Amino acid sequence: MESYVREFPYFQVGTSLSAQDMFGPMAKKYQHILGQPLPPDARRIIQSLKGRPMEKQVAEIMRYLHQRYRYLGDWRASNRGYVPFDLAQIEQNGYGDCKDSSILLAAMLREAGVTARPALVARGLPLAHGDSGRHDQPCHRTGEDCRQNRMA
């Protein structure tokens, strides 16, 4: 396993020690986006998969996203740096970064009946220590753990 080595000093300032204070507003935005109806193309894919085994549905959803959407990193220090586009905007654009891929995949998996959610992850830095999250990946429930799916 590769070890994580920080190549620069790290200093973070916050106004609260509460994770809810830090992530609550962002989580509400994610929940709002996840609650939006699927865009037409994504809905059509989900409808075409009805009745297939769940593993096949997940594989086809992943294949669709991989073929249809281009990864385009967006690391600007703005609200866009932390909050994904709306689902319809992602479909219209045909591209997005990890946040956009993650939220669209989670929304499609949910529509297919899989318990799924986006998860903020940071290599080597647990979010419990106040890290603001550097990468967003979809997770789906299998038994009692959360499996990460790589899209990029």
pLDDT digit string, tens, across residues 79-137: 667 789 999 999 999 999 888 999 999 999 999 999 998 887 766 554 444 444 455 55
Q: At what angle do helices 54-68 and 98-111 cross, to 10 degrees?
A: 150
Bridge partners (DSSP) listed for residue 79: none
Regarding predicted confidence, which is higher, 152 or 24?
24
Comparing CA positions, the residue from 129, 110, 133, 111 lying closest to residue 120 is: 133
Please, what's the b/e burial string for 40-77 (b: 16 or more CB within 10 A of its CB; e: otherwise)?
eebeebbeebeeeeeeebbebbbebbeeebeeeeeeee
72 pLDDT more than 80: yes
Residue whose entry in the numeric block shows the structure tokens 């549905």:
57
* Amino acid letter, 112: A
- Tell me the CA distances in angstroms from 146 to 69, 93, 101, 114, one per residue in order: 24, 29, 17, 12
Using CA atoms of 44, 46, 51, 55 in order, give the dihedral in degrees to the nearest 10: 140
Task: Note the pLDDT of residue 123.
Answer: 60
Report the sign of the C-alpha dihedral through residues 17, 77, 140, 117, in that order: positive
Q: How many CA atoms lie within 13 A of 10 on its CB side?
A: 9
13 pLDDT more than 80: no
**Residues 26-66: pLDDT tens digits?**
889 999 999 999 999 999 999 999 999 999 999 999 999 99
